Amino acid sequence: MKLSERAEEILEAMWTAIEENGEGFAAMERIGVAADDPAFDELTKRAFIEIKEGRITFRPEGKKEGRSTIRRHRLAERLIMDVLNIRGESGDNKACQFEHLLNEGVDAKVCTMLNHPDTCPHGKAIPSGDCCLEARRSGDLGVVPLTELKSGEEGRIAYIQTEDNKKMQKLVAMGVLPGNPIHLLQSSPSYIFRVGYSEFAVDAEMAREIFISRLQG
Ligand SMILES: [Zn+2]
Ligand SMILES: [Zn+2]
């Protein structure tokens, strides 16, 4: 059965507290949830946590669950803040809502799209998933802005990140669409690339907004 959102929040708060104090337990008052909250029962019944004298510790299954919950939370933060460009308090709230949607499978897709990031926007570690290990093993080079490609390098367009609708329309009209192969011909003084049979020149600002899945050379 799926955990309640409140229970997931407790696991996250525990993970963060333990990460910060390095003592192997989280003090009850650090969790920000009333001690008589039913979510604590939910977690103890499933043998996820143990509460003793105001100290909460993970049991092995709970630690596993906490790890994947914090992973989803921090990936959601990256997605909301970096890709959707929503920051500040509103970004934090959205990340908290969004993480619950990143269940099995979806988190790997988001992680891959973000190029398997090591840290959240606050600099905290994102526990790696199978997708990250697999990417490292297979030499997948991940997704980078067009500006990171070397002249002559080929890749595939992953996504375009721009707030400017006109620019987006221009790119789409040029055939710069996710999934299309792209070949960077020249990177200075402007970026010249080929998509399909056409060649295009864009400035660095626009090149930074086009994200490319690199292929192994
Ligand atoms: Zn964070
Ligand atoms: Zn990954």
Decide if 160 contacts 168 (C-beta within 8 A): yes
Whether the CB-CB separation of 198 and 143 falls below 8 Å is answered with: no
pLDDT surpassing 80 at residue 90: no
CATH 2.30.30.90 domain locations along the chain:
143-214
What's the gap in Å between 130 CA and the centre of ligand 2? 7
d(CA 75, ligand 1 centre) in Å: 9
For the chain, give every residue range classified as CATH 1.10.10.10.
74-137
- Please determine, for residue 216, whether its predicted confidence score (pLDDT) is greater than 70: no
For residue 165, what are its two tokens?
């609708």
Q: What is the mean pLDDT of residues 72-83?
A: 88
Comparing 83 with 201, the larger pLDDT belongs to: 201
Residues 6+ apart with CB under 8 A from 36: none
Q: How far is CA 121 from the centre of its chain?
A: 9
**What does pLDDT average to over the chain?**
88
Looking at the CA of 79, name the nearest ligand.
Answer: 1
Residue 84 has which token pair?
Answer: 């959707």
Range 74-137 classified under CATH 3.90.1150.10:
no
Q: Which ligand is nearest to the CA of 133?
A: 2
Neighbours of ion ligand 2 (CB under 5 A): 111, 116, 129, 131-132
C-alpha to C-alpha distance for 208 and 59, rounded to whole angstroms: 44
pLDDT the model gives residue 45? 96
Mean pLDDT lowest for which of 27-31, 99-103, 137-141?
137-141
Predicted confidence (pLDDT) per residue in 154-177, tens digit: 998 888 887 788 888 888 888 888
Average pLDDT over residues 43-63: 95
145 or 48, higher pLDDT = 48
**pLDDT score of 142:** 73
Q: Residue 59 pLDDT > 60, yes or no?
A: yes
| Distance from residue 134's CA to the centre of ligand 2 (Å) | 8
pLDDT of 164 reads 80
| Average pLDDT for 175-197 | 91
CA of 188 to the centre of ligand 2 (A): 32
* Domain 143-214 is found in CATH 2.30.30.90: yes
Residues 66 and 15 sit within 8 Å (Cβ to Cβ): yes
Please give the share of the chain, as a percent, with pLDDT higher than 90: 43
Task: Check the CA dihedral 203-207-209-210 and report its sign.
Answer: positive
pLDDT in tens, 111-161: 988 888 888 988 899 999 999 988 877 766 678 889 989 999 999 888 888
